[in-house]
Structure 1
Amino acid sequence: MKRFILQRVAPQRLLSLLLFGVVVFGSNIGFAQSSTDLSYLLTAPERSSFEETTRYDEVMAFLRVASAQSPMLHLTTFGYTTKGRAMPLVVFGDVADATVESVRASGKMPIFVQGNIHAGEVCGKEALLMLIRDLAEGRHRNWADSLVILMAPIYNADGNERVNLFNRPRQNGPLAGMGQRPNAQGLDLNRDHMKVKSPEARSLLQVFNTYDPKVVVDLHTTNGTRHAYHVTYSPPLNPNTAPPIDTYLRKTWLPEMTETIRERVGWEYYYYGNLPYRRGDPGWYTFDNRPRFNNNYVGLRNRMAILSEAYSYATFEERIMATLYFVEEILNHAADQRTAIEQVIATAEAIPLAGMDLGVRFQPSMNQESVEILMGDVETLRNPYSGSSYYERKDTVYTQTMPEWGAFEPTETARAPAHYVVSASAASVVGAYLDTHGVIYSSISEADERELEAFTIDSTTVSSREFQQIFERTLFGSSSSKWVAVEEGSLIVSTSQPLGRLVFYLLEPRSDDGLVNWAQLDKWLEPGKDYPIYRSID
């Protein structure tokens, strides 16, 4: 199958040609309407022998041209970056336009795929551009029978434009540089899903709240351990994720895709992991349980989430293609198994939380059986433009048997209440966060007295180091039942809603990633006083 034509074209000339077509011919470009051949429409890597990555203006021009070729492609925006750049969203499906109303009216299952949350990890952006071009040429039309696909190829658009030859210096290309990890505020957008301090994250949550994608795919590049996989992946890692979602991803979806890609291209994919750095027991260790990370956050929303991490020491071209194959197979499975996926989600949403013990603190857990990990090696090469060294994978492949630490387990739990009562004094702050996350709640119109469970604060500790511009806080204390004067304007937040697991994680006083951790309730945290959010006694 012909996928692209490599030729060297100056980026300024390419951008001028694309913009000329959009401006002169408008959204219906005459020269392309008579043909589905878009071989002239190249990404920056394709036209530069994979030495460059696509810049923001080029991305926007590319998307305008591609979306004009098919009535099934619709280009819109879903928010703005810190620097005011519009964040593009391409909607593919049997829909009239890109609006939430049209997507919902279609009756098809929405899936959201994003690239470039870390703008030095650019293979996802390039893979999505190539996929959008394929869709514009008429490929994969069968997906529209059951899916609406929402694609955001350049989420961290500001970081994308801060190209530097010394960003991610050990990564194997693009040799002409790539963007930076944080956004323009200096925030890591893949740590911002709970505290939501960036305009980008606020915009992303609006996508989740309105389009309500049933599956979310997040595309990255990984480095570190010298393994032999082209892509490593992960389902949600927080143990509070509904078991039906975790089971379906681990037992069905991810293993089936691994086998399909092995048969298709002969490449190996496996669960994300690394060997310990310098010290620690040998093993294959996954990353983190906290919902500040995209895939863990989505899991707490009772939705499917898949993390993709292309191997950074593979060539830039291979990383792009490995990511593209992965996304294609995710969408193939989703299209074929739409009913099964929706049934799993419905089952997860129907699980009552009240009275259930859920985790607030966690530790890695070791799988019962050791696994064979495919290991590799690299050679050191020199970037001809920067003079710095980088790694390129060798063809060496060998197996190493080791324990796998691929999940987490609670070290501390709390009982999920039927509902929380947020004191009137904290209602404005907490309510704003609940609104941002799409949580349903109500306000108390008349003061009364209720028997509730209160968390009485003994002490607090604050991190000695700032993280993401915040000093994280930990709360200590004990719970007991008491009669509480509930003032008018207090909030009732039920856990009997699709976002009930997220509600628990945001509001619990001992949560390792909730509002307390992110120092958003400091005003109310005094030793000897009650935490300003009470729990119902059921």
Structure 2
Amino acid sequence: MESFAQQTPFEISGGQQTATYPEVIRYYHDLAAHYPQAKLITYGKTDFGEPLHLLVLSKDKEFNPQTLRQQHKRIFLINNGIHPGEPEGIDACMMLSRDLLKENRLPKDVVICIIPLYNIDGSYNRTSTSRANQNGPLFYGFRGNSRNYDLNRDFIKTDSKNSESFQYLFNSWQPEIFVDTHTSNGADYQYTMTLIPTQKDKLQPILSAYLCNTMLPDLYTQMKKKGFELIPYVNSVEETPESGIEGFLETPRFSTGYTTLHNTIGFMPETHMLKPYDKRVESTYKLLETYIELIVRDAKIIGENKAKADLAVARQKEFTLSWKLDKSTYDQLPFKGFEAKYKPSEVSGLNRLYYDRNAPYTRNIKQWNNFVPEVTVSKPLAYVIPKAWTRVIELLKLNQVHLQQLQKDTELDLNVYYIKDYKTASKPFEGHYLHSQVQVTDQQQKIKFYAGDYVVYVNQAQNRYIVETLEPQATDSFFNWNFFDAVLGQKEHYSAYVFEDTAAELLKHNPELKNKLEQQKASQKDFAENPAAQLEFIYKNSDYYEKTHLRYPIARLEQNVNLSLK
């Protein structure tokens, strides 16, 4: 078969242009037509109406993920163009896939999967101005999609069809290693490529040990040899890197935070926006090439680690719902920067920051990268979910969570949460008024569930996805993303002039309630002088007050009981 030598738009333009979506898909169609080791597959739809594409490179010409897992192949998944204004991965993967095929360099034990361009509609919104701080390419796409979502905040709430299609693709292939290609903003420094690995403390410990002790050191070593020395993502504590940098905590709304829930080691490489575009693409190409080399070398241990991690998570009892940075400990990190200086602004006349590229330096800076649990929870035996919460059920199924249904109406004695307090953002974020700082109280209650309601046993490799979405205190829980806001509203109340007589009868026949009221009056002067507050107190401590108000609708089954399930 004739070798496929087609150049990419990036190469044809001398490293100045990034490919458009039609050019990308046409290129991969041609590549797959030339090489039987390549196949372009579609998964579902995106918000733009186009399917989500996946290019699969398989030396043995096997393209069924289940078969490949049975053959103990490692799966390496690369995602490009989630922010189409950061397109280095789009162009690098076009060249890399062609070169691997043309030069017969496809590995035997590793299958390479490439999402050519994730945010399709954003890529059509091409300008040269939306990335105000970026040095090329000449034209590029926009961060938001056609519904103005940042798709790298959508992996739990799943407002977009892109996210649904990605989750189906991801859970079909179950990659061991995942990379999502990006471009940075922020300070100026000497490095072309920075790196955000899955945060080591929240990654499953077996995987974290391999990541920290083997994969990251070797990535840094190999990339330095290839002319692109790496540095951790420069998340400065203050305005400039000299203040030190903090680790980036990628919660499950982000792609690599989502993949961590499934025990996949994730990376978010960020090229530096001010470096020339051709060098940014070259560094991305070499980084992806290095990932492949390391996965090939460590294929056996990577597979064993993933299996062990899945088993450990299925047996895990305690789960962290939120993390906080430990500011008491830090490392010293050798850093190659440019001196930060100040000069009068030509706009305001006041001092402004600039980085003097004629004054490079190498010095140690502080790096805070240790995170500790902030809120933890013990898993229940199972969660019980009323069938009415269909979106929750759909997303659990999409993530291959094993669900069973009650065969008949059943009263269960279980633990329920009441939402005691929470904060809500004053402005919308990605289409939602996010909740945070959730506080709950719990009660043991007997609740009737109905045939068709769902039971989710927490004994699965998907446990982290289950717990971190269903526990309301988790940072990116379904509750915090407003899935359950209806329970926060009270549905019934009373007319005071009628309930006055009812309240008097309640106090007459319930000495315990009367005593609670008197204690409250004695301890709170304002309450003692507020008849409406006293009436409300009696109402909320009576059977007239609806038990479902502020009650989180997903219950925790703590004791093993015989259930009739299908």
TM-score, length-scaled by structure 1: 0.84
**Within 5 A, what are the aligned runs for 1:430-469?**
430-469=392-431
User: Which region of structure 1 is more displaced relative to structure 2, 218-227 or 440-449?
Assistant: 440-449
What is the distance in 2 between the residues matched to 1:279 and 1:333?
A: 33
Structure 1 position 136 matched with structure 2 position 157: no
What is the distance in 1 between the residues matched to 2:57 and 2:316?
A: 42
* Aligned position for 1:165: 128
1:75 aligns to what SS in structure 2? strand
Does the CA contact (< 8 Å) of 1:116 and 1:219 recur in 2? yes
1:185 aligns to what SS in structure 2? coil
User: Which region of structure 1 is more displaced relative to structure 2, 315-324 or 484-493?
Assistant: 484-493
What is the distance in 2 between the residues matched to 1:316 and 1:498?
A: 41
Does the CA contact (< 8 Å) of 1:310 and 1:319 recur in 2? yes
Amino acid at match of 2:255: N
Structure 1 position 295 matched with structure 2 position 256: yes
1:453-485 per-residue CA deviation (whole Å, 9 max, x = no partner) reads 211222443211100011112443212333333
1:114-149 per-residue CA deviation (whole Å, 9 max, x = no partner) reads 1111000000100000111102313423x1x10111
The counterpart of 1:207, out of the listed 150, 164, 169, is 169
Does the CA contact (< 8 Å) of 1:314 and 1:392 recur in 2? no
Q: 1:189 to 1:453 in 2, by over 3 A?
A: same
Structure 1 position 514 matched with structure 2 position 477: yes
Structure 1 position 472 matched with structure 2 position 493: no
Q: 1:470 to 1:177 in 2, by over 3 A?
A: same
What is the distance in 2 between the residues matched to 1:500 and 1:284?
A: 32
1:164-205 per-residue CA deviation (whole Å, 9 max, x = no partner) reads 11021211111x221111111111111111011111111111
Structure 1 position 119 matched with structure 2 position 140: no
The counterpart of 1:259, out of the listed 221, 235, 239, is 221
* Aligned position for 1:536: 557
Amino acid at match of 1:329: T
Gaps of 5+ in 1: 1-32, 380-390
Q: 1:501 to 1:85 in 2, by over 3 A?
A: same
What is the distance in 1 between the residues matched to 2:4 and 2:388?
A: 61
CA shift, 1:435, in A, is 1.9
**Within 5 A, what are the aligned runs for 1:223-262?**
223-237=185-199, 239-262=201-224
CA shift, 1:324, in A, is 0.7
User: Which region of structure 1 is more displaced relative to structure 2, 327-336 or 481-490?
Assistant: 481-490
1:496-524 per-residue CA deviation (whole Å, 9 max, x = no partner) reads 11111111000001111010011011122
The counterpart of 2:279, out of the listed 288, 302, 318, is 318
* Aligned position for 2:46: 81
Q: 1:343 to 1:102 in 2, by over 3 A?
A: closer
Q: Give me the identity figure in percent.
A: 25
Please tell me whether Structure 1 or Structure 2 has the larger radius of gyration of its CA atoms. 2
* Aligned position for 2:338: 376
CA shift, 1:437, in A, is 2.5
Amino acid at match of 2:428: E
2:134 aligns to what SS in structure 1? coil
What is the distance in 2 between the residues matched to 1:463 and 1:326?
A: 38
Q: 1:56 to 1:425 in 2, by over 3 A?
A: closer
* Aligned position for 1:285: 246
User: Which region of structure 1 is more displaced relative to structure 2, 92-101 or 202-211?
Assistant: 92-101
Q: 1:100 to 1:346 in 2, by over 3 A?
A: closer
Amino acid at match of 1:188: D
Does the CA contact (< 8 Å) of 1:507 and 1:515 recur in 2? yes
Q: 1:404 to 1:486 in 2, by over 3 A?
A: same
Structure 1 position 148 matched with structure 2 position 101: no
* Aligned position for 1:306: 267
* Aligned position for 1:9: none
What is the distance in 1 between the residues matched to 2:319 and 2:269?
A: 27
Does the CA contact (< 8 Å) of 1:273 and 1:406 recur in 2? no
The counterpart of 1:59, out of the listed 2, 5, 24, is 24
CA shift, 1:397, in A, is 3.9
1:351 aligns to what SS in structure 2? helix
Does the CA contact (< 8 Å) of 1:100 and 1:210 recur in 2? yes
Q: 1:307 to 1:407 in 2, by over 3 A?
A: farther
The counterpart of 2:362, out of the listed 389, 399, 416, is 399
Does the CA contact (< 8 Å) of 1:236 and 1:298 recur in 2? no
What is the distance in 2 between the residues matched to 1:393 and 1:152?
A: 38
CA shift, 1:239, in A, is 4.5
Does the CA contact (< 8 Å) of 2:83 and 2:142 recur in 1? yes
1:275-295 per-residue CA deviation (whole Å, 9 max, x = no partner) reads 135499922123333111111
User: Which region of structure 1 is more displaced relative to structure 2, 483-492 or 157-166?
Assistant: 483-492
What is the distance in 1 between the residues matched to 2:462 and 2:323?
A: 21
What is the distance in 2 between the residues matched to 1:49 and 1:454?
A: 62
Q: 1:353 to 1:497 in 2, by over 3 A?
A: closer
CA shift, 1:267, in A, is 2.3
Structure 1 position 333 matched with structure 2 position 294: yes
1:403 aligns to what SS in structure 2? strand
CA shift, 1:359, in A, is 2.0
Runs of 4+ in 1 over 6 A off after TM superposition: none
Does the CA contact (< 8 Å) of 2:187 and 2:241 recur in 1? no
1:78-126 per-residue CA deviation (whole Å, 9 max, x = no partner) reads 2332222233321111344544455456542222111111000000100
Structure 1 position 276 matched with structure 2 position 222: no
TM-score, length-scaled by structure 2: 0.80
2:34 aligns to what SS in structure 1? coil
* Aligned position for 1:29: none
What is the distance in 2 between the residues matched to 1:118 and 1:392?
A: 26
1:135 aligns to what SS in structure 2? helix
Amino acid at match of 2:551: D
* Aligned position for 2:498: none
What is the distance in 2 between the residues matched to 1:533 and 1:430?
A: 10
* Aligned position for 1:109: 74
What is the distance in 1 between the residues matched to 2:340 and 2:24?
A: 32
CA shift, 1:330, in A, is 0.5
Amino acid at match of 2:43: F
2:402 aligns to what SS in structure 1? coil
CA shift, 1:494, in A, is 2.0
Gaps of 5+ in 2: 342-353, 491-548, 560-566
Does the CA contact (< 8 Å) of 2:196 and 2:248 recur in 1? no
2:224 aligns to what SS in structure 1? helix
Does the CA contact (< 8 Å) of 1:229 and 1:270 recur in 2? yes
1:315-352 per-residue CA deviation (whole Å, 9 max, x = no partner) reads 10111010111101101111111110011111111115
User: Which region of structure 1 is more displaced relative to structure 2, 370-379 or 225-234?
Assistant: 370-379
Alignment length, in residue pairs? 487
What is the distance in 1 between the residues matched to 2:397 and 2:53?
A: 23
Structure 1 position 497 matched with structure 2 position 460: yes
Q: 1:139 to 1:225 in 2, by over 3 A?
A: farther
Does the CA contact (< 8 Å) of 2:187 and 2:240 recur in 1? no
**Within 5 A, what are the aligned runs for 1:32-71?**
33-34=1-2, 36=3, 38=5, 41-71=6-36
Structure 1 position 72 matched with structure 2 position 37: yes
* Aligned position for 1:19: none
Amino acid at match of 1:71: P
